[in-house]
Every structure is written in structure tokens, then in C-alpha cells.
Chains A and B, each alone.
Chain A
Amino acid sequence: MSMGDRTFSRRSVLTGSLAAAGTALVASCGNSPSGGDAQTQGSAESGVINVWGAITLDRGVQELLDAFAAKYPDIQVNYEQFPNNTDGNLKLDTSLQGGAPVDVFFSYGAAAVARRTEAGYALDLTELAQSMPEAEPFTSSDPQRTALFDDKLFAIPTVYNPYLVYLNQDMLDAAGIDVPFDWTIEEFHEIATELTAGGFAESATYKSLPLAGMELGGDSQFAAGGESSSFDLPIWKQQFDLELAMEQDGTLFPMEQVLAQRVDLYAQSYFLGGQHAFYLDNPATLRFVKDLENYPHDFRTTFRPMPYLERGGQQWNTGSYEDAVQINANTSYPEAAKTFVQFWLQDGSEFMQTAGKVPSSLGPGQGAAAEALFPRLLGDDYEDLFDTDALTQVAFADDIQMSVTTITTALTEIANLRSSLTQQLRLGEISVDDMLGRLKAEADAAITTELAQG
């Protein structure tokens, strides 16, 4: 094209466009992780901080923010709620990377914590945690607490999340079944069969038992060293044999209906609707059980530990300390951010109990302290709705061994592989041996690729 003496050839337009694209790409990369060299402003009592969390304001966060504002009137808090899913987490990641105002953020799951910490967006919180009795235990190398990075703590868990079995007490009473607290895998399956065969429940459970996690702990999917997967271990065959058997005998909610109804996000409805006998989850589900408006039911919920691989044996609880709070290494208000994190872990934790969040300051063997949580955690009618003795005995048992995930290589990809192959297994498309063969090969390939990319 030509304009007067100015001539723009196609080549020059293309070159210019490529240059512009390159510039835009560089610009879009925003700030690189600085590791805490941002200019600091404010103080421990003043500043403006932006907090990113997945819990909605109506589930205790607004009360917490109000209490914080009353105590620290000179710290302005802007709360940004993001959905804890692929899109929501990517939104937080790109905001961190792009330099958007994020001062405090929550990471859900080991992979998210590791990704943000390794990218340099997390401030070292070791000293802060050591200054608080609620968080101090997380600074030790206790393998049941949390993962450290280079012996430093970059994420403080805010929630104690042991895995439990919720049971419909009225259904068990009607069937005349007494479930022992030290029940085994075999007894779990037998009782499930009895309840479904007797017509007391449509299915016994929505979720299957994570036997490998119970035997191997938080890194159950990896061989020692983390350079390959562990799906060739016998415990995985035992896990999927049981899952397939339960699918086939109808004690497990049929995969066909899982897929047809897309129930993965509201599976608790079946337990609270009286169709299922058990529900396997952490205390987060307590909020649904007490919510009689959305989940009307009149049965009492009791609790048991996850069934034992061997009666009297020690095993891992597949829950963990979760909902980790982190401070952006690039925050302009590090002191105000620390004040907020401290408040959330201390005075603020009571407000989060309404959302089924048991504070991370509690743990195994602390049942006596836990009873003070019941009014907020379980609601006003808790005596009628819950077997609180069983809850205390199960959720705060002395012998609970919480698990910690320390290897996060290709964790999301392996989860997707497992999900895809489990669907095929339960739909009768492949055998357990085929499934495990493919899972081992594909998971190993994913780990190798991820490690090669650094």
C-alpha cells in the first residue's frame, strides 16, 4: 500500500505486526516473580489489601471481614471470591503473574500451593507461623502437617480436614445394623450390601474407598523418589477390584447415573435425601447436613472412621490440613497482610466454622476443645441432627494420621487419567488389569514429560 511518499509493503506491515505481537506478548507477561522486592507501604495496622479466596461472603467470610474491620479500622480489605476450579485458579494465577492487586490468597490443594510457591509468588511465612501457637506446628518437619519448601513455610493451612464416613443412623437402626468404630473394608462392603439388598438404600455410597491412599499416604500415586507412578503396586489392584465389585453389585452409585446426571458437585443430595447410606467426605459436608432449608431431612447423622485395611492396624487418613493461606511476595502491604492472616487463623477462625471449616489449630486427640465449635459448626439443632459423640470420637481420634502430599508432578494430569480410566472400568469397557496397565504407562509418561520440562 502507498500513501504519498510513504510506502508500506506487505513485508513491512507483517514485520511491524510481528514486532507488535512480540511486544504485546512481553507486556502481557507482566511482572515476573520478584520474590519480595516490592516497595513496601503501610504498617501492621494500616494499609489496603486484596484477599482472594474461594469461600463466598455468606459462608462466614463477611462476618470475619466485619470483625477484622472493627479491630483494624485502618486496614481496608477487598475480598475477591474466585471459584475453586480450573478457570478460577487460572484467574488467580494470571492475576498474580500479571501484577493485579493480590496481597493474600488461598490455595486449595498441594498442586496449587506448589505451583504458586515455586513460581516465586509466595512470601516466606515461617517467622509469622512461629509467632502463633495456632500455626507453629506447621513449621516443623512433621510429615502429618504440611509440606515445606527448602525448609521454609510458604503456605499456612487454615482448616483441619480429616476424612470421615457420614452414616444415616435411622437407616442403620431400621436395618438393625450396628456399625463398629473399628470396622474393616470387608465389613464396610458387607454392610453396604445388606443395606442395598434389603431395600433400605438405593446405593450405599457415592464415593469408593481410597485404599491406596489409606495404605501409602499423601504421595500414594508415586513410587519412591517421585520419578514414576506406583500403579503397579498390589494395593491399587485391590482398590479397583473393590470399586468394580461395588459397581457391579449396586452398592456403589452407578457410573452410568454419575455421567448421565453430572452429579459430581452435589452428590451429598443423595445421602441427605435418604437414598444413600454413607457419605465419604471431610467436615465441609457438615454445612449441608445442618442446612434443613435446602436439604430437608429428619434422620440423624452419625460418624465412623474410614474403614480399616486391617482391624487394629495403623493407616493414613486421606484428609489433610487444607485451605492454605499465602501472602503474595510482591505485595505492597506485607505487614497489613500478615495482620490479616494472623486474624484469620486466630479470632477469625470462629466465623469460618459456619462453613464447616474446623480450624487448623485443632487436630487428632483434641476432641474436648472441639465441642466448643458445635453451635457454629453444626447449627442450632445439632443435638437432634448429629451424633456429636461419634463426631468427636471420629474426627478427633488419637490415632488419626493425617497425610501430606509432597510430590505434585503431573498431579492434575494423573487425576484426569484416573478419572477417565475409572469411568471406562466401571462402564465395563476395560478390565482392572487393562486399566492399571494403561494408567501406569500413561502416568509414567506424564511424569517424565513434566520432569523433563522442569
Chain B
Amino acid sequence: MTTTMERPIVGGAPPIKRRRLVYGMKWWVPWLFVAPALLGMVTFLLVPLLGGLLVSFTQWDVISGLDGIRWVGLDNFTTALTDPKFWAAAGRTVIYAGLSVPLTVALGLVIALALNRPIPGRGALRVIFFMPAVVNVIAVGSVWLLLLNPSSGLVNQGLRLLGWSEPPQWIASPDSALAALIIMAIWGGSGYISVIYVAALQEMPQDLYEAARLDGAGAIRQFVTITWPALLPMTMFLTITQLIGRSQTFGLIAYMTSGGPGDSTTVLSYYMYQNGFMYYRFGYAAAMGVLSMLGVLVMTLLLWRYQKGRSLYGDEDGNG
């Protein structure tokens, strides 16, 4: 297959006929192959993303349609940056994600190290630890509501048995509600993390451990010098993806606390939901979404830079 392209005549020069082939195909044939994926990406990713960006510069209540859109420039962003509730919600998001992500990853690693050893019922244990990741958030929330009931919940009954006479009120108190959500997030996420870690651990070259043992390295030394550096890229990947997910946490908070008591669990995603879906301030909600995305992007870049060159095998390009 060939294609003929004609250039316009310039300065009386004779027309030049050129044949352009891409791997023996007309230029548009490769586009035809990538078109479905490209179309999907543009429709479902790029357009909503850029649409959201455009909305963030407007004042729009949705229901008024086109007539109701008003361009307000950077007003929504300046409003957010001077809104104490925005900063309070951002602070809660940082606490929630900043505590739950490293603790989830750490617990997941501990579980993975345990499950990577030849123990009886290892397969069943892996399934059990993975279960929270596949259970519906409402079902999970309902169970936790029972467990965390301040007076009749199993958690506080256990704590009282251990001698804690006035255990936390969990989601019934502004002082402990966010902590309760963090505990639930760790419980729900560590099983998934452990499964990923187990897969990585099973790919580890055993000769490194044999050599370390011959050199007299103990278990802790082996972990510090071999396992942890080898797992660092995986750890960074899990940390970044968890950070992105946790900064957008919504379902559990909407069901368990609706942002309360008071505003104690109103994280950024819930504050955006309130402004957009309850108060019909979609422009302001979109602006907060853009600021939130920028915050997560900065965190991601910092983490990415931190891990470069620190893994057992050098950076992500293998240039050790």
C-alpha cells in the first residue's frame, strides 16, 4: 500500500511526488489501530480531566445549564486558599493519609514476611488477609460500627478487660473519630499490600541470602541489606498508589461519620462533596479538586525522587 502526497508548486518548481509509507502501510493505518484506545483515553480520561479544570475557573450550579455558567477566573482558587475550612480539611487529609499509608504498608510488609515462610495453612491465611480488600465498604463499615460502639462494642469491651477504664469513644467523639477511620483504613488495606509484597518476595534471588548467611549475616542484617533495598521500588509504588487513594477516600467517611462529629472527619474529598453535591458549588469543588491533585502530585514527585538510586538494583532504569 502506498500513498501519494503532493506539495504545492513554489517558485515555478516542478511538483515533487513523494511516497510515504509507515512500515509499508498508509500513514493513517497505524492510527486506525490505536484509535479505540486513544478514543477511550480521550473520552474517559482527558476530557473529564480538562473539563474539571475548566469548571474550576467558573461558578456553576449545574442545574442552570449553559446559562448558569459564569467565568470567575482564579476566584475559586483564592477563595479556597483563604477558606479556613479548606485548610482544616486539607490538614485532616494529611493526617489521615500521612498516618494510614505508612502504617498500612508497614503492616502489609510484616504480614508478607510472615506469610512468605513455610507455615501451615499459608494459602488460607493469604486469602483471609486479602478478604478486606474485596469486601464492600458498606459491609465493612457496618461491622466496624458494631465493633467500635463505645459502650457495647467488642473493641472497648476488650480494652476494659485490659484495664482501660475509659477507652476512646471512637467515631462518637471528635477526638478519636479520625483515629478510628485510620485504623479501619489500615485493616482494610494491609492485606492487599501483603499479597503484592509476597509476590515480590518470592521473586527474590535466593543466592543473595545464601551468600549473606555464609558471611554470617543474621535475619535482621539480611532484611536491612538485601530484602528492604530490593523491595524499595515496590514500597515506593505501593506508598504512592496508596497515597493517591487515601487522599481521595470518601465512601467509608460518608457512611461512617458524614464528616463528623463536628467537622472532625471532614477530609478534603468530603468537603469537596459537600460544596459540589450538597451546596451546588461545582466550580469551587472543582478548584479544590485541582489543588488537591497538585498536592498529591508534589508528594508523589518527592517520593519518586527519594527512592531513585536507593534500591538494591539502582534506579528504576536499572542504572545502578
Contacts and interface: CB of A to CB of B under 8 A. Distances in A.
A25 B49 CA distance: 11
A25 B54 contact: yes
Contact of B278 (A86, A257, A261, A427): A86
Given A3-B30, A20-B42, A260-B148, A416 B261 contact: no
A24 B47 contact: yes
Nearest to B79: A449
Interface string A104-138: 00000000000110010100000000000000000
Given A3-B27, A4-B20, A26 B66 contact: yes
Contact of A18 (B50, B62, B262): B50
A429 interface: yes
A410 interface: yes
A4 B5 contact: yes
Contact of B47 (A20, A87, A96, A256): A20
B273 to A, nearest CB: 8
Contact of B65 (A21, A33, A86, A115): A33
Interface string A85-112: 0110010011011000000000000000
Interface centre among B64, B65, B172 (most CB of A within 10 A): B65
A423 interface: yes
B18 to A, nearest CB: 8
Interface in A253-309: 255-257, 259-262
B62 A93 contact: yes
Given A17-B42, A24-B51, A33 B278 contact: no
B69 interface: yes
Contacts of B55: 25
A115 to B, nearest CB: 6
A25 B29 CA distance: 30
Interface in B281-300: 281
B54 to A, nearest CB: 6
B307 to A, nearest CB: 28
B317 to A, nearest CB: 23
B3 interface: yes
Contact of A94 (B53, B62, B169, B281): B62
A18 B278 CA distance: 28
A33 B62 CA distance: 11
A32 B170 contact: no
A22 B64 contact: no
A: contact size bracket: 35 or more
A25 B283 CA distance: 13
Contacts of A419: 260
Given A21-B50, A32-B66, A259-B261, A412 B278 contact: yes
B56 to A, nearest CB: 12
B278 A97 contact: no
Contacts of A261: 145, 149
Contacts of B59: 453
A416 B279 CA distance: 10
Contacts of A29: 65-66, 69
Interface string A185-203: 0000000000000000000
Contacts of A151: none
Contacts of A11: none
A28 interface: yes
Given A97-B64, A410-B279, 19 more contacts: A3-B27, A3-B31, A5-B18, A21-B54, A22-B54, A28-B51, A29-B66, A33-B67, A90-B62, A96-B63, A97-B62, A119-B61, A259-B261, A260-B149, A260-B171, A420-B259, A427-B174, A427-B262, A429-B262
Interface of B: 3, 5, 18, 20, 22, 27-28, 30-31, 42, 46-47, 49-51, 53-55, 59, 61-69, 145, 148-151, 153, 169-174, 255-257, 259-263, 274, 277-281
Which 5 residue pairs across A and B have the least CB separation, nearest first? A21-B50, A4-B27, A32-B65, A4-B20, A259-B172
9 contacts: A5-B20, A5-B27, A20-B42, A22-B54, A259-B171, A259-B257, A260-B151, A262-B255, A453-B281
